[in-house]
Amino acid sequence: MRSARKPLSTYRRIVIKIGSALLVDRASGLKTAWLHAICADIAALKAKGVDILVVSSGAIALGRSVLKLPGGALKLEESQAAAAVGQIALARAWSESLSQDAIIAGQVLLTLGDTEERRRYLNARATMTQLLKMGAIPIINENDTVATSEIRYGDNDRLAARVATMIGADLLILLSDIDGLYTAPPHLDPQAQFLETIPSITPEIEAMAGGAASELSRGGMRTKIDAGKMATGAGCAMIIASGKVDHPLSALGDGARSSWFAPSTTPVTARKTWIAGQLLPSGSLAIDAGAETALRSGKSLLPAGVRDVTGSFSRGDTIAILSANGREIARGLAGYDADETRQIVGRKSGEIAAILGYAGRAAMVHRDDLVMTGATQQPMTEDTERRDIHA
């Protein structure tokens, strides 16, 4: 049965994306009152036990205001300079505003590579997870100061979706200057109809995506639909709502108009198909019968259950997991480099710190990064593995 829209306070973890036009006014700069209002909303949700992460646009827009740069398109180096200045001001503003409710903010700057390359992906996820455990709120933005291609406002829609899937959020909220999805761009077509609920993102839904409505938010509906495809496919619901009002999250709770995108009914398959089918294994772990039973019951792979290690891999690489008879039964993302893995094979998790010299992860492959494949292929040898990797 497909899940339905529910109160924000009942979600476990929410990623909130905030568009540049909501935070920054070209003439006056940072909209401090609006920022204080949404921080109060965030504090109210956090007090109810909801994990909150914020993907905040606005660094370039704020930087060009501080630097008094003229309107119009900026050169790449001008955008980078504006981002460098604006990021400091933006982070300070979030920190000061959240501190009014005794909440600590942690800044996380990401690039596309941080979300696509597995090792960096795991490190970024671990950092954000630890911030949440410590009660802090991650304030995330793309690291525009080192961009090597043209910077576009609005790309944070897709970044927010990547963060939501990375962190296992169950709701993504995109706040911008439009209150949801219409059958056509409402500023161009007065007959455009508002869509309150989108059960799935079909080609027809994609065709409805129009252009942006403001200079500061150039991502438009296209990037929001792209974000929706990523988020809902991983089992995360999505809401597109207007952030123009004060206390926009409270307004959502009071029934403000918005478009709700239902999550996929098969999120595990949607998310883990990527691990099972799209990445080639860089090595393999042979495990005993007890570890296989544990994996099939949904548990992580611990070092004690591993009997042999094959291949050369780094933490975050995809590895095959082989049963006692040499058949591949699962694939997952390695929690340790190959050399470290060989040192802790067969040992208890409590011994890891003494062996490696640092307190590593208890799991060799965490259950969140593992998918049972049930393949019936021939046992993997070093030769066949090498051919698989370089095929």
- Helix intervals (H) in the chain: 20-23, 32-47, 59-66, 76-99, 112-116, 118-133, 156-167, 203-207, 220-233, 248-253, 267-273, 289-296, 338-344, 352-356, 382-390
- Alpha-carbon span 317 to 329, nearest angstrom: 17
Beta bridge partners of 172: 15, 238
194-195/328-333 β-pairing? unpaired
Structure tokens at 91: 């982070």
Q: Say which amino acid occupies 132.
A: L
Residue 57 marked ligand-binding: yes
- Alpha-carbon span 391 to 232, nearest angstrom: 32
- For residue 162, the SS3 value is helix
* DSSP H/E element including 106: strand 105-110
- Please choose, from the candidates 337, 313, 314, 332, the residue with its C-alpha nearest in 3D space to the C-alpha of residue 322: 332
Residue 156 marked ligand-binding: yes
Q: Are 367 and 321 in contact (CB under 8 A)?
A: no
- Alpha-carbon span 3 to 265, nearest angstrom: 8
Residue 248 to residues 39, 82, 202, 213, 304: CA-CA distances in angstroms?
10, 27, 28, 19, 50
Residue 176 marked ligand-binding: yes
Residue 144 marked ligand-binding: yes
- Binding site per annotation, positions for substrate: 57, 144, 156
- Binding site per annotation, positions for ATP: 17, 176-177
- Binding site per annotation, positions: 17, 57, 144, 156, 176-177
